Amino acid sequence: MNSIDFLKRGFSAFELKVLACVFMLIDHIGYILLPQFEILRVIGRLAFPLFAYFIAEGCRYTKNKLKRFLSVFVLGILCELAYIVFSGNGAGNVLLTFSVSILLIYLLSYTKKMFVKNVALGFVSLLLFALSLVIAYFCCGYLGLDYGFFGAMLPVLVVAFDDMGKWSDKLYKKIDRKIVSLSMFSLGLLCVDFFEVSMQCQIYSLLSVILLALYNGERGKYSLKYGFYLFYPVHLFVLQVIANLVE
Strand partners, 215: 11
Spatial distance between the Cα atoms of 181 and 187, rounded to a whole number of angstroms: 10
Q: What percent of the chain has pLDDT over 90?
A: 55
pLDDT averaged over every residue in the chain: 87
Tally of domains in the chain: 1
Q: Mind listing the pLDDT tens digit for each residue in 23-32? A: 999 999 999 9
User: Which whole-number Å values give the CA distances from 40 to 34, 124, 192, in the listed order?
Assistant: 8, 47, 20
Position 87 scores a pLDDT of 63
Position 88 scores a pLDDT of 61
Evaluate if residue 209 carries a pLDDT over 90.
yes
Residue type at position 12: S
Task: Give residue 177's region: left, alpha or beta (phi > 0; psi -120 to 50).
Answer: alpha
Spatial distance between the Cα atoms of 13 and 85, rounded to a whole number of angstroms: 34
Evaluate if residue 225 carries a pLDDT over 80.
no
Spatial distance between the Cα atoms of 113 and 101, rounded to a whole number of angstroms: 18
Q: Mind listing the pLDDT tens digit for each residue in 118-158? A: 888 888 889 999 999 999 999 999 989 999 999 999 999 99
Evaluate if residue 52 carries a pLDDT over 60.
yes
Which band of pLDDT confidence, cut at 50, 70 and 90, is reported for residue 210? very high
Lowest mean pLDDT among 32-36, 155-159, 233-237: 233-237
Position 152 scores a pLDDT of 97
Higher pLDDT, 18 or 7: 18
DSSP string, 162-182: SS-THHHHHHHHHS-HHHHHH
Structural domain that includes position 217 = 3-246
Evaluate if residue 164 carries a pLDDT over 70.
no
